[in-house]
Structure 1
Amino acid sequence: MSTQDVDDKDGEAFVELDPTGRYGRYKDLLGAGAMKKVYRAFDLEDGIEVAWNRVKLRNFATAPEKLKRLYCEVDILNSLHHPHVLSLRTKWVSSDGATYNFITEICPSGDLRGYRRKHKNVSLKAIKMWAHQILLGLKYLHTHEPCVIHRDLKCSNIFIKGNTGQIMIGDLGLAAIVDRSHVAHSCLGTPEYMAPELFEQDYNELVDIYSFGLCVLELLTVETPYRECTGVAQVYKRVITGVRPEALGRVQEPDVKRFIERCLGQPRDRPSAAELLSDPFFQELNGCSCLVMQPVGPAREDQRQPVDAAA
């Protein structure tokens, strides 16, 4: 098997086969961040499309904490197996030590933010079905042993398979694994979606419920929460003083607004994912066959060059 000899900067396939020769790549680039590029790939053994995540390790030469966070994300993915959480298939370091590679499931329709903006006239029922699946994923993360707090839940970190409507939570780069106390202390996340207690650096998994409420608001209004703010400082001030996003005032249905407000409540009053799943908000979904697939098994790991998380 061979790949095309094309320039990586063009967002196309690059010449670097995986150690097994199992994965072939297409030209189209799924996405790129400052540290990571994601390519559409093909699993020759299982005959399915996958996402090939490629990270140039030299980019982390002056940012060891970000490298550690990357390894942590992959380790977390490797321990999670749920229909609504993006799963890891395999990982390896290139033979020359230049790149870190990992293969995940693929959601060809992209993230939920872009998908919703593309489809502006979806029904409230469809949004409820998406929200229900997000909660199933959160319930799994929060009841996992150990508990996993996402800490950066937003519509751009939630992905969808458009042909089936299956929702998958991804981008666990800021996730925290906590002990039985379920308490975390680092202040990380996207300000517009961060719960007030997260800024105070003393919180638990219910910060994800707060973020989930704002995701539902965005899905309803097709607006990023607090877009009326001119900067992070203004967002911070409004969040910690309990000022709701202006978009919430544009939600007309009382039951829908009540559901979002319930998610945005004080930590002591904020429900868990399991409790929200039984909320009357989802009553019309009774009898609907929300997509459920069998969880995948643990990822395979190439042994040619192990990854050292302490690097």
Structure 2
Amino acid sequence: MARACIFPGQGSQAVGMGRALAESFPQARAVFDEVDDALGQNLSQLMFEGPVEALTLTANAQPALMAASLATLRVLQAERGLDLARDVACVAGHSLGEYTALAAAGTFSIADTARLLRIRGEAMQAAVAPGQGAMAALIGPDAETARAIAAEAAQGEVCEVANDNGAGQVVLSGTKAAVERAVAIAQGRGVKRAVMLNVSAPFHCSLMAPAAEAMRAALAGVAMQAPVVPLYANVLAGPITDPATIRDALVAQVTGTVRWRESVAAMAEAGIDQFHEIGTGKVLSGLVKRIAPGATASAVGSPEDVAAFPTFG
């Protein structure tokens, strides 16, 4: 058996996230305190109590999701004896979850990860004026069909595949008019479902180029270590360990496609048959079960989940 730890992306945040862990385990509380100190903000209070409108803001949601995941991981290390270098074959994360995965594997410190994600969230939000960009989910088509729909809809504007999530779920991103055209084209072609998404910016498309440059500058000033296990990178759908390659992949990820389907398939092909989603929500676990039907996937985010987790050491 070979295990992977995977870490959720934006959209999994919810008011109350991490609160039960913080109340039950000092290791979790310590992570939340460290993130609060790094950001100079009582982010943990916002996570525990809301309001949801503030938690959903990209600049808050990204470090909050990271904090919840790493708090969970620290508890698993203390309570269940989990050692990533010994017990896990690789890590991966969806979009911002890639930063969480790298922090879990020792590439970044928790404080640096929190600050990087704050910069990333603010830069992504500022890259496109409100109302100018949009995203849409297509349910049913494969990535190639979605790419063809996006290309037809672009008409000189931007419409690109942002996420190939697998299980017939592809997300498009770009200028508002082009994405709306893509939805109409998809509906006309019998795509099972094509809907505009309620998002604050058009993530993972070329409109995010200013945010990519902001991250290039931010990452250049942060200490990086080789991860203790390989990272399956979003834009490469394959394993990397070299810090310079990781830095380039994180910059490319801002404008590039999150190749989650291919990443999970590559991990399964490499022999990974157990996936543990660490943190808030169960989105990635559900996708894994549909992409790699021979694998098991579980979500770990509560004290009860911790108690049910295998014991190592």
- TM-score (norm: length of structure 2): 0.30
- TM-score (norm: length of structure 1): 0.30
Higher share of residues assigned helix: 2
In our comparison, the structure showing a higher alpha carbon Rg is 1
Higher relative contact order (CA 8 A, sep 6+): 2
